[in-house]
Each structure stands twice: as structure tokens, then as C-alpha cells.
Structure 1
Amino acid sequence: MSDLHTPAPADPALDAPPFRWRWLALVAVLTAEIMDLLDATVVAVAAPSIENEIGGGSTMIQWIAAGYTLAYAVGLVTGGRLGDRYGRRRVFLIGLVGFVATSALCGLAVSPAMLVTCRILQGLTGAVLIPQGFGIVKATFPPRELGAAFGSFGPAMGLAAVGGPILAGALIGWDVGGAGWRTVFLINVPIGLACLALAWRVLPESRSETALRLDPVGMLLVSAGLLLVIFPLVQGRELGWPWWTFALLAAAVPVLALFGRHQIRRVRAGRSPLVEPALLHNPAFRGGLVVGLVFFAGMTGLTLTIGLYLQIGLGYSPLRAGLALAPWAFGVAAGAALSGAVLANRFGRAVIQAGAVVMAVGMVGVIATLDLADGPVTGWQLAPALVVCGLGMGLLIAPFFDIVLAGVTLPMVGSASGVLNANQQLGASAGVAVLGTVFFQVAASGDFTGGMRAVLWSAAGAVLAAGALAVLLPRRARPET
């Protein structure tokens, strides 16, 4: 096993012997992705239990979610570049150790202030950890297997996004050892330690062959710009959209424009940029940013509000709400398996477009179920439409990352990973802000079903728009297939 830590080839040829432990390396990377996404979604279910035990009020509870989101989104672009500079394996392991440690601290928190602080630190460690995954896969797998490797990210992320509330509801309902809500954070400790042992053993080291220097001015500008966007999106709905939220969003435009100009000047001066401007000249990557922004806005906004509707509107317990969403997760798994094994390589972006249509049909089915239900809707009544919705989501998300990242070369993959993940987080924050506002405005009169119906129509429109925008992507990830 002396080749476990041998650097993976920068651009392996089709006939080169592949890295021996590549599939185990993929398992380690996907496990980290799943832990991160679970922690981004569980708080919506755990929040009532947290408030009951340690207090803090609604604003403090809001920051338990917002602190993680802000820190994670702001740190992603810089985190992606750290792996290119210092080695993706090394940075992955450092980020994973930090994520496990901060997860344990979250689970042991004794006050709202301590929990919010630990969540911010957890978001920062996640921003260091997660962007390394795409680069590790790109450096580890031969070109003929990259489609299957990248194609696994979408289903894993989709299942984690839907499965987070299910897991949170189950853990809180089971109340293992009397830990209650703390288990949604403490569960990361055994999983993370197992992932760490695997990653230490099988991940190869890789870094950019070009000597990179960090860009502190660029880091400051992109962090400030993203903060000016994400902060008002996260807090705006809770505070009723005061004037300063729009002022901050407007201020983000010149800050990000200045960041873009700074990056171009660094390239012209022969210095390493934080974000490679060449990425935006890649049609697949550029189109992927647009499609991903719209899709993740609709998907994440719907995931949040349907969990709120089941608990607040229908009075479901966290466990019952999680079980009611299980058919959605089953549909995602089935759709992703069908797409990855049969459809994606053959039909490419057409699968993304078909998945958008199927997912929208599932949402309309949920609306019809709500309209036709005689009294409060049950989980069994929702199940068929949720399966269809999940099936479409699995079809769509499985080929997405493969098509978007297929043309990104290894020297740019850290930068691409940070930007793509930050874009996904931006879309998710916008979706939660907009669809959450829609839901609560309609539900303010007590009509929670009406609020859910409005969100479903809005989310269906966003998903269909993402499907239509998929024309910006290449027909296939690799034309020769």
C-alpha cells in the first residue's frame, strides 16, 4: 500500500493506470459533502427543541442557521484556492478535523451565544473542507470515469438536502441518551472520525503545478461582496425587509465589480488570481452558474417551507414530518440511479430538462393533493406526488455537475469549486428568503395551506426556468460520448 499518498497525475491519459483507491477516495469526499449539507438543513427541524432547552428567542435561533450559512458562503471562494496552493489532501484533512471538532462543540453548547459562535466556526471549517472535493476527484480519476465520479455529487447532495430534515426529526424523536436536539450535531463526530480515518488512508495529494500566491486583497473584496449579498437575504425575511437590506444588496454590486477588476489586473500582471477569469469564458461553467442559481433557489426554498408547513401548519412532530418527506428522498435516489446508470451519458442536458419537467409535475401533484384532501392532508396522501417530485430532482441533479465541470482543467478546479459552491449557496439563500417570505405572508392570516400552495407554484416556476436555461449548457459533458 505504499502508493496510498502518491500524488495523482495532473491530467491522466486515457490509457494511464488509474489511481488504485479512487473509489474509496470518492466515498470520503461524498461523506464530507453529505455531513455539510445535513448540517445546513437540520436546524429548521431542530430549532423549536433548541429554543425550548437553552432559550435565546426567535432572533437568536435564526442566527443558529444564519451564522453557518454566512460563514460558509463567504469562505468558499478562498477555501477552494487553499487546496490548489497547499495541497488538496492536506487542506481537506484540516477542514475535516475542524468540522468534526466544531460539530462536537455545537452539540455541547450550553447557551445560545455559544451555539451561534460554534455554528459560525463550523461554517468556516466547512468552507475549507468542501471545495477540495471536486479537485480531489479531478486529480484522482481518469477521464473515462470522471462522468460517473462527478455524476455522484448531484444525487448525494440532493439526498442530503431532502434527508436532512428526515434525519433531524428521527434523531430528536428517538432522543438517544436524552440528548434530544444535540444529536443532530453530535452525529457528525462518529461519522466524521470514520471519514477522517478513510481519507487519511486513501486520499492522494495533489496541488496546482503552477506556483500560486494567495491574494489577500481579493479575499477581502470577495468576502465583503458575498457578505453584502448573503446577510440581507438571510435576515431580510425575518426583519420584514427594512430599507437597509436593499441598500446592502445594492452596495454588493460595486464591491463585486471591483473584485472582478482586481482579478483581471492580477492576471495581466502575471500573478495568481483568486478566481480564474478564464472560468467565465467556459460556456459550460458559465451556463452552470445560471442554471444552478435558479434551480437551487427553487429546490432549497421548497425544502425549507414544506418542513415548516408540516410542523407549523399541520402540527406534525419532527419525526412525523421527517417520515412524511421520506418518499421524496426515495424518488431522488431512484431518479439519480436511472439518470446516472442509463440516461445521462446518452442524452446529456436533455435529462436535466426532462428532470425539471418531472419535478414540476410532482409539485403540481402536491398542489392537487392539498386541494382534494378531505381535511388535513396526511403523509400517505402526499407520498405519490413527492415520489414524482424526487424522481425529477434525481434525474436533473445527477448529470448537472458532470456537464458543468467536464471542461474545467485541473489548475482551475479549486477556483471553480469555490465559485460553484458559493453560487449554489447564494441561490439557496435567495430561495429561502423569497419563498419563505411568500409562505409567511400568505400564512399570516392562518392559511398555511394557501402559503404552501403559493410556494409550490413559485418553486415549480423556478425549476422549469432552470430547465429552460439548460440550453446554455453543452449537449453532453464529453462530445465523444
Structure 2
Amino acid sequence: MPDTPYRWRWVALFVILAAEVMDLLDSLVTNIAAPAIRADIGGGESTIQWLGAAYTLAMAIGLITGGRLGDIFGRRRVYLIGAVGFTLGSIACGLAQEPAQLVAARAFQGLLGAVMLPQGLGIMKEIFSEKEQATAFGMFGPVMGLSTVGGPILAGWLVDADLWGTGWRMIFLINIPLGLFAIGGGIAFLPEWKNARAVRLDLLGALLAAAASALMVYPLVQGREHDWPAWAFVLIGLSVAVFAVFGWYERRRSRTGGDPLVEPSLFAKRGFSGGMVLGLVFFSAMTGFWLTFSLYTQLGLHYSPFKAGLTGIPSSLGMVVAFVSSQALQRFGRTVMHAGLVVMVLGVGGLILTLQLAGTGVTPWQLIPALTVAGFGMGLVMAPFFDTVLASVEPHETGSASGTLTSVQQLGAALGTAILGTVFFERIKTTDFVKAEQFTLGVEIAMLVVVFAAVFLLPRHARTHAEAASDADTPAVPEPELTA
């Protein structure tokens, strides 16, 4: 870190935040807009799932190597490549004429977003003094909160408003001014930085991880539409085998003095391995919750996209309140996560009961109590997640552990879209929308029980932000994505 922090650092922060906002909005908007998109350009039920899964799966794959690209080629240069690519991907989404084009453009967005986002966090670590870093990284909380509340509402309003006849396309085209600001600001105000130590890119490891992830998600989404043929189960089994090969290769690369994507020593730590299981299942459950609830309100209750976006506000506000409260609760350690899971189960259970009592005549006002409780529980789990898991790793492992956890978060989001989306659509074949949503919420509760058990594997207490920041050369605690 330079003795004198970069003088344009606060302007640079807003440039980096613009990139974060683009990513947050694009991880939220398709759940609200998916029914309108399908009605316009066609596609099967799996198209709705792929609109979210293609983005998050590509993001998970790209994040594995995104940070390393900045170390090798320079963070400012790689950030600009990512920002330009993400903006072009947004334009491609807005101009897509058929489902395959839109899904491909969504995957391109996610991949370039994974190239762009780690560079901003790395640049912030370099340009802010240790005293300023708490304030700078603290800005992410309000931005995330506003995005998770405003993203679905904005998406619903844009679809209903049909500005200049663009309909759902405007949810992607609105990224153009944000992208131009991120690009122009990056050129003008972001400093260049490059790792002084030569870092080699683990290309084979990245390909193995990408292949294993894709082999897992694809059959979970497409298998249902083909009545679960044998090839779907073969691909899932092959995914497990490729993940095993990936683990073997990373250990071998580490022993021979290479730069592995993931430090093999991490998997020997109970806290980190447990955190990966916890993160994978929890973010699957959370993302699946948002997707199926949005589909239920629009397809089952016939809400407009704007009304569906407004209906989700209580859950988003509950999550924001939990994030604000998390610092005061930090001293209770992993107990906060256990409490959050109990609260979330109560909220999801309350939602099942509300649907049972109100049926197809349920109103947004009747949903407020259960959604608020569920959202508050989500926030209590998410807020301490990264800090608590990273408390189990050594200082030199923090950078690799942070990147791996963020990739797991995105992979969990893709799996949640695939698994719970599939459960929801399968139930619709044999029952009505109310019972399909109730059954899906029951599966959600079962997943949260698994998460509750996994929390016992974590360290009892998280490290403070100051301890984490002083331990690693890269930001130790990435901000969690509010994928919805």
C-alpha cells in the first residue's frame, strides 16, 4: 500500500460502486421480468431458470480466475475489459430475439462481471489507508441494501412502463449509462496496479472447475423437460468425478510449486469445508426462494411485474435491518447464524400457513409479516457468513479462501435456480400454484435444516474486519451478493 493514499480515491470508490450496482441489479431483475420475457420471445419453463442460472453459473466460473487476471495483467486494465464486456453483454441481452441468444448473452454478462468485480475490490485495498478501509468497504452495505430493495421494483416498473416500446428489454438497456460511467470513470480515475510477484494462471484448473459446475447445473435444469433421461444422471455423476479430478490436480499443482486456484490446505480445515457446504446449500435455498415466490405471484396470483416487485419489499427490508444490526450482534459469533436460520424457518413456515389460510385470494398485505421475518432471518445468516468461515483459515490462505467462497456463493445461486425451480415446475404438473409453492417452501425448510447442522462446523467467532484486513494482501472479506 502506498504511504500516501491515491488522491482520487473517493471518486474511484464511486466508479467501483457503479460496477457493483450493475452486477447487483442484473442478479435480481430477471426473476421479476422472466414471465414477460418468455411471453415475448418464447421458450420453455427451463428458459425462466436459465435466465438466472446462466448468469450466476458464469459468474461462479469466472470468479475463480478473475482476481488472478488482475494480478497478472494489471487491475485497471482488466477492470476496463470487464466493464466494456459487461456493458456490451447488457446490450446483447436487450437486443436478443430468441431464448438461446438471451441465455448466451446472460452467460457472457456473468463471465465479464466476474472479470470486472474483483479488480475493484483489489484497487480499493491499495488506494485506501487501513483507517479509511472500514469506511470505504462500509459503503457497500447501503448500496447492497438499496439495490436489493429497489432492483425488483425498478425491474417491475420498467417492464410495465414499456418505455419507448422496449418492454422487458429496458431492464438490460438501463445498464448502458451505468456502464459508460464505470468505463469513463475507470479510465479517468482508477490507478494501475500489478502484482510484483509473478503469478501463473491455472488455466487447466479453471477449465476443470467450469466443466464440473456446468455438468452439475445443466441436467438439473434440462432433465425435467426431457422426463429425466439417463443422460441427466450420467452428467451429474460425471460432474462429481470431474470435481474429484479438480481436487487432485490442485494438490498436485501446489506440490510442484505452481499457483493453484484453490489452496488444497483449505479443505483440511473443518471450518472452511463446513462453510463451503453451508454456503452452497444456504445460497441455493435463498435464491430458489426468491425465484419461485416471484413466479408464484405472477403466474399463480396474476400480479403485474411491478406489483410482484413491490410485494417482495418486506423481505428485502427485513434483510437490510439484519445487516444493519449485525455489528451489534457480532460478539455472539455463530449463534447469530443459528438464530437467523430459526427466524428464517419461522418466516417460511408462516408463509406456508398464510398461503394455506388465504389461498388464491391472498393479498400483498397478508404476506408482509411472514416475508419480513424470513428476510430478517436471511440477513442474520448472510451478514456474518464470510467473516465466520474465514476465521478458520491461515493469513496466507485468506485470498484463496475469499475467492473460493464467493464462487461457491454464485454456484449455490445457480443450483438454487435449478433445483427449487425444477421442484416448483414439477409440482405444477400435478397440482395448483398454491400447493406447488407450499411444497417448494417445504423443501426450502429442509435445506435450512441442513444449513443449521453445518453451522456447528464453523469457528465460534469471526475475526474483526481490522484483523482480516491486516492478514492478507487482498480484501479478506468480500461483500456477499444479494442474489434474488
Q: TM-score range by the shorter chain?
A: 0.7 to 0.9
Shift in Å at residue 22 of structure 1? 5.9
Aligned match of 2:440: 455
1:180 to 160, 167, 177: 167
Deviates more, 1:140-149 or 1:369-378: 140-149
Shift in Å at residue 42 of structure 1? 2.3
Aligned residues: 466
Aligned match of 1:90: 77
Q: 1:169 to 1:297 in 2, by over 3 A?
A: same
Shift in Å at residue 203 of structure 1? 4.3
* 1:388 aligned partner, one-letter code: V
SS in 1 for 2:376: helix
Residue 363 (structure 2) pairs with residue 359 (structure 1): no
Which digits, 9 at most, give the CA deviation of each residue in 1:343-364, with x for residues without a partner? 22x3232222222222221112
Deviates more, 1:291-300 or 1:174-183: 174-183
Aligned match of 2:246: 259
Aligned match of 1:470: 455
Shift in Å at residue 159 of structure 1? 6.6
Q: How is 1:144-293 mapped onto 2 (pairs within 5 angstroms)?
A: 160=147, 164-200=151-187, 203-281=190-268, 284-293=271-280
Q: 1:465 to 1:257 in 2, by over 3 A?
A: closer
Q: 1:468 to 1:63 in 2, by over 3 A?
A: closer
Which digits, 9 at most, give the CA deviation of each residue in 1:39-87, with x for residues without a partner? 2342233233233434455566655445434433333312232123223
SS in 1 for 2:223: helix
Q: Does the 8 Å CA contact 2:301/2:360 hold for their aligned counterparts?
A: no
Aligned match of 1:127: 114
Residue 378 (structure 2) pairs with residue 381 (structure 1): no
Deviates more, 1:450-459 or 1:322-331: 450-459
User: In 2, Cα distance between the equivalents of 1:69 and 1:31?
Assistant: 19
User: In 2, Cα distance between the equivalents of 1:252 and 1:370?
Assistant: 37
Residue 438 (structure 2) pairs with residue 444 (structure 1): no
* 2:434 aligned partner, one-letter code: T
User: In 2, Cα distance between the equivalents of 1:139 and 1:467?
Assistant: 37
Q: 1:389 to 1:424 in 2, by over 3 A?
A: same
Which digits, 9 at most, give the CA deviation of each residue in 1:379-402, with x for residues without a partner? 011012111111122222122223
* 1:347 aligned partner, one-letter code: F
Aligned match of 1:419: 404
Deviates more, 1:202-211 or 1:459-468: 202-211
Aligned match of 1:5: none
User: In 2, Cα distance between the equivalents of 1:216 and 1:90?
Assistant: 20
User: In 2, Cα distance between the equivalents of 1:244 and 1:162?
Assistant: 40
SS in 2 for 1:42: helix
Residue 274 (structure 2) pairs with residue 305 (structure 1): no
Structure 1 runs not aligned, ≥5 long: 1-7, 10-15
Shift in Å at residue 308 of structure 1? 0.8
Q: How is 1:69-84 mapped onto 2 (pairs within 5 angstroms)?
A: 69-84=56-71
SS in 1 for 2:381: helix
Shift in Å at residue 374 of structure 1? 6.6
Which digits, 9 at most, give the CA deviation of each residue in 1:379-430, with x for residues without a partner? 0110121111111222221222233346768875664444223211222222
Which digits, 9 at most, give the CA deviation of each residue in 1:90-147, with x for residues without a partner? 3223211210121122213344444333223222212212344554455556667767
* 1:476 aligned partner, one-letter code: H
Query: Under a length normalisation based on structure 1, what TM-score does the superposition of the two structures give?
Result: 0.85
User: In 1, Cα distance between the equivalents of 2:277 and 2:136?
Assistant: 23
**Equivalent pairs: percent with the same residue?**
53
Shift in Å at residue 298 of structure 1? 0.9
Q: 1:334 to 1:208 in 2, by over 3 A?
A: same
Q: 1:62 to 1:251 in 2, by over 3 A?
A: same
1:395 to 377, 380, 387: 380
Shift in Å at residue 294 of structure 1? 1.5
Q: Does the 8 Å CA contact 2:67/2:115 hold for their aligned counterparts?
A: yes
Residue 297 (structure 2) pairs with residue 330 (structure 1): no
Q: Does the 8 Å CA contact 2:283/2:409 hold for their aligned counterparts?
A: yes
Residue 413 (structure 2) pairs with residue 428 (structure 1): yes
CA RMSD, aligned part only? Answer: 3.2
Q: 1:82 to 1:51 in 2, by over 3 A?
A: same
User: In 2, Cα distance between the equivalents of 1:97 and 1:41?
Assistant: 21
Which digits, 9 at most, give the CA deviation of each residue in 1:414-473, with x for residues without a partner? 644442232112222222233223323333234211121122222233234324422322
Q: Does the 8 Å CA contact 1:363/1:386 hold for their aligned counterparts?
A: yes
User: In 2, Cα distance between the equivalents of 1:280 and 1:323?
Assistant: 42
Q: Does the 8 Å CA contact 1:38/1:164 hold for their aligned counterparts?
A: yes
User: In 2, Cα distance between the equivalents of 1:234 and 1:134?
Assistant: 33
User: In 2, Cα distance between the equivalents of 1:288 and 1:149?
Assistant: 26
Which digits, 9 at most, give the CA deviation of each residue in 1:162-217, with x for residues without a partner? 75433321210122222111111011112233334444555454444431112232
Q: Does the 8 Å CA contact 2:67/2:119 hold for their aligned counterparts?
A: yes
* 2:458 aligned partner, one-letter code: L
Q: Does the 8 Å CA contact 1:154/1:399 hold for their aligned counterparts?
A: no
SS in 1 for 2:456: helix
Q: Does the 8 Å CA contact 1:80/1:414 hold for their aligned counterparts?
A: no
Shift in Å at residue 315 of structure 1? 1.1
Q: Does the 8 Å CA contact 1:86/1:207 hold for their aligned counterparts?
A: yes
Q: 1:220 to 1:438 in 2, by over 3 A?
A: closer
Shift in Å at residue 25 of structure 1? 5.1
Aligned match of 1:349: 334
User: In 1, Cα distance between the equivalents of 2:286 and 2:147?
Assistant: 12
User: In 2, Cα distance between the equivalents of 1:65 and 1:278?
Assistant: 32
User: In 2, Cα distance between the equivalents of 1:20 and 1:404?
Assistant: 34
User: In 2, Cα distance between the equivalents of 1:280 and 1:139?
Assistant: 29
Q: Does the 8 Å CA contact 1:80/1:128 hold for their aligned counterparts?
A: yes
Q: 1:343 to 1:66 in 2, by over 3 A?
A: closer
Aligned match of 1:4: none
User: In 2, Cα distance between the equivalents of 1:285 and 1:150?
Assistant: 23
Aligned match of 1:102: 89
